[in-house]
Amino acid sequence: MEPAEAKASAIFLSGGPANAARYQSSTSHLTSDIIATMDNKTIARILRETAQLLEVDGAIIGRYRSYEKAAELIETLTQPVAQMVATPEKLLELPGIGQGMVDHLTEIVKTGDYSLRVKLLKKFPPTLLEVLTLQSLGPKKVLLLWKQFKCATVADVEKLAREGKLRDLAGFGEKSEQNILKAVETFKKGSGRFLLPAVEAAAAEIAEHIKKAGTMVESVTSAGSLRRGRETVGDLDLLVTMAEEKKLKSTSGARQAVIDEVAEHILKYPRIEQVLAHGENKVSFTLSTGLQVDVRLLEKENFGAALLYFTGSKEHNVRLRGRANDMGWTLNEYEMATLGEHEKEEEIADAKSKSAGAKIGVSLGSPLKAAAKKGSQDTKKGASAKASAPSKNKEKENTKRPDAGTTKGGIRVAGRTEEEIYAKLGLDFVAPELRENSGEIEAAERHALPKLLELQDIKGDLQMHTTASDGKNTIEEMAAAAKALGHEYIAITDHSKAVTVANGLDEKRIAAHIKNLRSADAKGLGIRVLVGSEVDILKDGKLDYSDETLAQLDVVVCSIHSYFNLEREAMTERMLAAIENPYTQIIGHPTGRLLLKRDELGYDLEKILDACAKHGVVMECNAYPDRLDLKDVYLRMCKEKGVKVVISTDSHSTGNLAFIRYGVTVARRGWLEKKDVINTLPVGEMLAALKKKPDISKRRSANTQA
């Protein structure tokens, strides 16, 4: 890769401030094919970083907010801005976009950066963008630390906090220091992890490139933690199935030459930053985002064994290999085969040792508790980039293909499909989302695996926002987009008044909004439009609207958007008070986490779920990919405690509605079935499944008589 291309690739595919900081200068000489690949997310990031730097620099609010608003809008667009700049009049039609912003966007698309951002990054160190991602620090505090301590990195912030040098600063305090240290730990845990949409996009683009190798390639399949639907991904595993030998065409005609030819083609992918390995049937490289990609080229007859092995998890695979050994077979990434006599003792002893270690998790009690413990350990360890994938050391040792049909002299038993391997092992097929060694093998042996939720089971979406608060689209536009996805109903749930930053609605505005929603529903849009609100849970656990207002809503979603750092007991009492409120029907994004940015709220989840079960309150699985909240282990706890779940997108634009599939994936990882999720029901049954709110008219009558 040419230096200019590498630089451009880093700018365009940067997944966050860390990588943005590495490439700060403007590049006016980018090749047209690279410019054409600049996506809206990257453009939005450049604008947002410009806004942050302007705020640090002391710009007036109107100036930096214009960049923030443009970034928010661009992220919701379905048409690429890189194409729209060719017809500026289309950009001018967008709300809030004037000629000045059109000029800025044109510059970004043509040069790969923005001159004002470049200028500001000469004034402030680029690593300051990383500091700005810390949950407890805003631009004003970051500027203060920069002026007083020349604090320019996350490590600098951590050092100051640990030395107790922040508590005496204006606007800080001892509690602030503790919160900053928590934010630093969250930042560290997120290093090397990527959200699902970013990895999916990379996988799709790389797969498209690989397929251009022509008839030599039959298929490209994602494996690893992406296939298992983990909430974040450390690295990307791709399996390239070669076409059958008789179909192959290469310059030399030799089989290995064909494989080498495909490998060389893969390494011409323009976004590669560094090639890590180029073996006989494997290539590894990193992208400018830091994402490592491992591509393995394999024969069709080995596809099932390879897919099983590289999907993982490691713990699941260890259990399967132990089971295979117990049956007199060996299982690896190429096939399952009989053991040769000379190797049986060594293989079986090794497998039993590993299997015993893997079984520690399920010996804790119920599969749920084992999974919860494992999830907690993963969080504490930071879920490093390698933790979610099968052992890379073992994989790198196995770079040569054994002779087809044999392994160490054994006779092939299975390997072409995962299904045949599971069947030979006496197990039902285990869906990739369940392969975490959390009881799925025992369930597969007993034919007791759940019939997992499917995307087509979803009939509606019960959390989304419109232009009435902080959404980008109207009621009618959200309804039309939801209908196009096949939904039968939606609930519009704009924010309540406490969330001023999201333009929350006060009582007067919500009253008018309720009328607008009823009117929209009466228009015959081909989809039911339910009246809802995302009502803030205040610090004391009370709801942000009066009972009279809440009584008028079809769907009441209650969420926390403030006071995230209450002590565990206080936060638990706050949540319990909200759940006990007779108008609370759904708890939105229950743990309040933001993946790679903000940890979960600290409260007693067991008590919260018990209260939900008692009061008939539904827990949300928020499908927005930055949240995925509740997470899989907690969803499984809901299932075991009889707490119903709703999967909603928390959409702020029509494009967000498709995020519902991420929620379904998390629900599948939580062992949820159709019966566990209320928005698999037709609208009438779904509304009946929600907690019945008090009849406000009867209450008024009783008060009058009293």
Are 521 and 392 contained in the same domain?
Answer: no
* Structure letter (DSSP) for residue 561: -
Residue 372 lies in a domain: yes
Q: How far apart are CA 633 and CA 368, in angstroms?
A: 7
Residue 364 lies in a domain: yes
**Cα–chain-centroid distance for residue 341?**
47
Identity (one letter) of the amino acid at 335? E
Contact 179, 187 (CB under 8 A): no
Instruction: Kindly report the CATH number assigned to the domain that includes residue 73.
Output: 1.10.150.110
Contact 399, 294 (CB under 8 A): no
Are 292 and 212 contained in the same domain?
Answer: yes
Are 148 and 215 contained in the same domain?
Answer: no
Are 117 and 180 contained in the same domain?
Answer: yes
Tokens representing 53?
């730097």
State which residues of the chain have pLDDT below 50: 1-37, 250-252, 342, 355, 357-408
Provide the 3-class DSSP secondary structure of residue 675.
Answer: helix
Are 294 and 374 contained in the same domain?
Answer: no
Give the CA distances from residue 14 to residues 48, 121, 196, 642, 643, in Å, rounded to whole numbers and listed in that order. Answer: 13, 16, 15, 42, 40
Q: How far apart are CA 153 and CA 545, in angstroms?
A: 42
Are 216 and 337 contained in the same domain?
Answer: no
Residue 663 lies in a domain: yes
Q: How far apart are CA 386 and CA 237, in angstroms?
A: 12
The string of DSSP letters for 324-390 reads HHHTTEEE-SS-EEEPPGGGHHHHHHHHHHHHHHHTTGGGGSSHHHHHHHHHHHHHHHT--TTTTSS
Are 362 and 294 contained in the same domain?
Answer: no
Are 623 and 514 contained in the same domain?
Answer: yes
Are 422 and 530 contained in the same domain?
Answer: no
pLDDT digits (tens, 9 = 90+) for 437-479: 999 999 999 999 999 999 999 999 999 999 999 898 999 999 9
Q: How far apart are CA 54 and CA 527, in angstroms?
A: 43
Residue 485 lies in a domain: yes
Which domain, by its residues, includes 557?
460-697
Instruction: Kindly report the CATH number assigned to the domain that includes residue 439.
Output: 3.30.210.10
- pLDDT the model gives residue 706: 52
Residue 505 lies in a domain: yes
Q: How many CB atoms lie within 10 A of CB 627?
A: 27
Instruction: Kindly report the CATH number assigned to the domain that includes residue 293.
Output: 3.30.460.10
Are 162 and 290 contained in the same domain?
Answer: no
Query: Of 667, 675, 669, 668, which Cα lies nearest the Cα of 642?
Result: 675
Residue 558 lies in a domain: yes
Residue 538 lies in a domain: yes
Type and span of the H or E element at 276:
strand 272-278
Boundary-marking domain end, from 267, 298, 329: 298
Boundary-marking domain end, from 427, 449, 471: 449
Are 281 and 328 contained in the same domain?
Answer: no
Cβ neighbours for 414, distance < 8 A, ≥ 6 positions apart: 304, 305, 335, 336, 420, 421, 423, 424
Q: How far apart are CA 665 and CA 485, in angstroms?
A: 17
Instruction: Kindly report the CATH number assigned to the domain that includes residue 485.
Output: 3.20.20.140
Boundary-marking domain end, from 167, 190, 213: 190
pLDDT digits (tens, 9 = 90+) for 205-228: 999 999 998 888 999 999 999 999
Tokens representing 102?
């059109």
Give the total number of structural domains in the chain: 4
Are 284 and 185 contained in the same domain?
Answer: no
- pLDDT the model gives residue 560: 94
Q: How many helices (H) and strands (E) does the chain have?
A: 32, 17
Residue 703 lies in a domain: no
In sequence order, the β-bridge partners of residue 284 are: 277, 294
